[in-house]
């Protein structure tokens, strides 16, 4: 069995505003954040399991497209049925549009009937910048060995129109399906689309 490897995220964070992008096919940066309940969650907690990262801002029209249509919740449920972990991350800074406290995040999850494994708060933007997360949503898929297998948009319809959900290729679910079948991810990187992540500064 090949060892499970997670790269330290500190080096990626240290580069500053340039945001050193995580490299597809390489170990993903490990991180530790508090969830909406104040519990620490570390990526390496999920060794041996596939992990999906979803950058989130509930006020973004592109995020609303996927939540109001039920598309994001359906993807979360499908991923979890396959045994994957789904971590939703909010890197909005205090005072910026999309920023949420723990209680606000819990209310959003309940109201939206969202199904993440955990909703994580990154108000300083360190994890977002470490992953070069640019938009909401911005999606990443990490395999059970800690290797980044997909990064980019959730699908191939880069609009805020709910009507475009139908018929779109969901890149995340396609990657999960291919990984589960033991196949290489056929579309490993796409251009993310959505609202810019509202980092501090």
**Tens-binned pLDDT, residue by residue, of the chain (201 aa):** 444 445 544 333 332 333 457 899 999 999 999 999 999 999 999 999 999 999 999 999 999 999 999 999 999 999 999 999 999 999 999 999 899 999 999 999 999 999 999 999 999 999 999 999 999 999 999 999 999 999 999 999 999 999 999 999 999 999 999 999 999 999 999 999 999 999 997
Q: Is residue 39 included in any domain, yes or no?
A: yes
| Rounded CA separation 42/198 (Å) | 23
What pLDDT is attached to residue 7?
54
What's the domain range around 105?
Answer: 7-196
Q: Is residue 182 included in any domain, yes or no?
A: yes
Q: Is residue 96 included in any domain, yes or no?
A: yes
Residues 197, 150, 105, 199: what is their CA dihedral angle, to the nearest 10 degrees? -20
What pLDDT is attached to residue 11?
32
- Expressed in angstroms, the distance from the first to the final Cα of the chain is 44
Q: Is residue 60 included in any domain, yes or no?
A: yes
| Rounded CA separation 98/94 (Å) | 9
| Rounded CA separation 192/138 (Å) | 6
The distance of Cα 129 from the centroid of its chain, to the nearest Å, equals: 13
How many folded domains does the chain comprise? 1
Q: Is the pTM of this model over 0.75?
A: yes
What pLDDT is attached to residue 5?
45
Q: Is residue 201 included in any domain, yes or no?
A: no
Q: Is residue 1 included in any domain, yes or no?
A: no
Q: Is residue 2 included in any domain, yes or no?
A: no
What pLDDT is attached to residue 1?
41
What pLDDT is attached to residue 20?
55
Q: Is residue 180 included in any domain, yes or no?
A: yes
For residue 188, what is the domain's CATH number? Answer: 3.40.30.10
């Amino acid at each position: 069995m090949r060892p499970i490897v997670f790269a330290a995220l500190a080096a990626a964070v240290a580069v500053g505003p340039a945001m050193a992008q995580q490299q597809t096919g390489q170990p993903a940066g490990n991180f530790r954040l508090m969830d909406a309940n104040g519990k620490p969650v570390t990526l390496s907690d999920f060794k041996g399991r596939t992990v999906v990262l979803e950058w989130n801002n509930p006020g973004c029209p592109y995020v609303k497209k996927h939540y109001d249509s039920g598309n994001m919740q359906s993807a979360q449920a499908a991923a979890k049925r396959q045994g994957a972990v789904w971590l939703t991350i909010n890197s909005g800074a205090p005072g910026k549009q999309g920023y949420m406290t723990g209680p606000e995040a819990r209310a959003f999850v309940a109201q939206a009937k969202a199904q993440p494994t955990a909703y994580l708060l990154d108000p300083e933007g360190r994890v977002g910048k470490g992953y070069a997360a640019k938009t909401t949503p911005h999606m990443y898929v990490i395999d059970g060995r800690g290797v980044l297998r997909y990064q980019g948009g959730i699908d191939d319809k880069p609009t805020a129109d709910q009507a475009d959900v139908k018929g779109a290729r969901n890149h995340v679910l396609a990657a999960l399906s291919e990984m589960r079948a033991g196949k290489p991810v056929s579309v490993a990187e796409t251009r993310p689309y959505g609202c810019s992540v509202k980092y501090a500064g």
